[in-house]
Amino acid sequence: MRLATILRRATRVFATKGYRRTQMADVAKACGVSAGNLYNYVESKEALFLACLLATSPAGEERPDASDLPIPTPPAGAIGDAARRGALAIRRGSLLTAALKVDEPDDAAAELAGIIGDFFDRTAASRHFQSLVEGSAQDLPELYDAFFTKTRGPGLRKLTEYLERRIASGHLRAVPDAATTARLINESQAWFARHRHGDQDTSDVDDSLARATVVDVLVAGLLPR
């Protein structure tokens, strides 16, 4: 079996069960190999998890090399470092950051559509990495820090600031609470960009339709009435 297949199936297991509950036997079963065979690819569960992080990272990490197996157990801190690099890559150069530098947008609807679409695209492109990190965030504090503290938290705060400023300037309508609205925007795009995969009720919705629907409905709901 190819290393890429091992890592793809291991990623699904880690994302579903979390780091602590995942046993090497679980991964071996998902891969259709014996647990002993799995150790021909990786030295340990730590090595396997890090390899999955690197293989899915949006940071453009060097992928694990199948010519040098088994992949060794990583040094302390390597998993957290890889998670932080990936998390930073998701946020880097966002349209939201650029919009916060503008006081008077030429077209507020187009600006908001761009921001929400950019959120969707970044989530869709990194969905396996995000599922892997979020699924084990409660087990490994360094993953919690990378995903919730360094990525989701700052993103929601920036989106809240953007909404408050555009509402104050009259470009967007008033809402009951800007922070809650920011969470609604984020969760809506995240569900359709990432969580809908594998859901039987949305199996017929492709990425372009999901993206267009999220952008259309959220923008229409926030424009002045």
Instruction: Measure the CA–CA gap between 124 and 122, rounded to whole angstroms.
Output: 6
Residue 85 predicted with pLDDT over 80? yes
Q: What is the pLDDT, as a whole number, of residue 124?
A: 96
Domain 3-74 and domain 80-222, same fold? Reply is yes
Residue 146 predicted with pLDDT over 80? yes
CATH fold of 80-222, please?
A: Tetracycline Repressor; domain 2 (1.10.357)
Closest CA relative to residue 218, chosen from 197, 193, 198: 193
pLDDT band at 52 (very low <50, low <70, confident <90, very high): very high
Domain definitions of the chain by residue range? 3-74, 80-222
- Mean pLDDT, residues 105-124: 97
CATH class of 3-74: mainly alpha
Name the residue with higher pLDDT: 67 or 2: 2
pLDDT band at 23 (very low <50, low <70, confident <90, very high): very high
Q: Could you give phi then psi for residue 71, rounded to 5 degrees?
A: -65, 130
Q: What is the pLDDT, as a whole number, of residue 202?
A: 86
Q: What is the pTM of this model?
A: 0.92
Closest CA relative to residue 182, chosen from 203, 165, 157: 157
Residue 3 structure tokens: 């290393």
Q: Cis peptide leading into 70, omega within 30 of 0? A: yes
Residue 165 predicted with pLDDT over 80? yes
3-state secondary structure labels for all residues of the chain: CCHHHHHHHHHHHHHHHCCCCCCHHHHHHHHCCCHHHHCCCECCHHHHHHHHHHHHCCCCCCCCCCCCCCECCCCCCHHHHHHHHHHHHHHCCCHHHHHCCCCCCCCHHHHHHHHHHHHHHHHHHCHHHHHHHHHCCCCCHHHHHHHHHHHHHHHHHHHHHHHHHHHHCCCCCCCCCHHHHHHHHHHHHHHHHHHCCCCHHHCCCCHHHHHHHHHHHHHHHHCCC
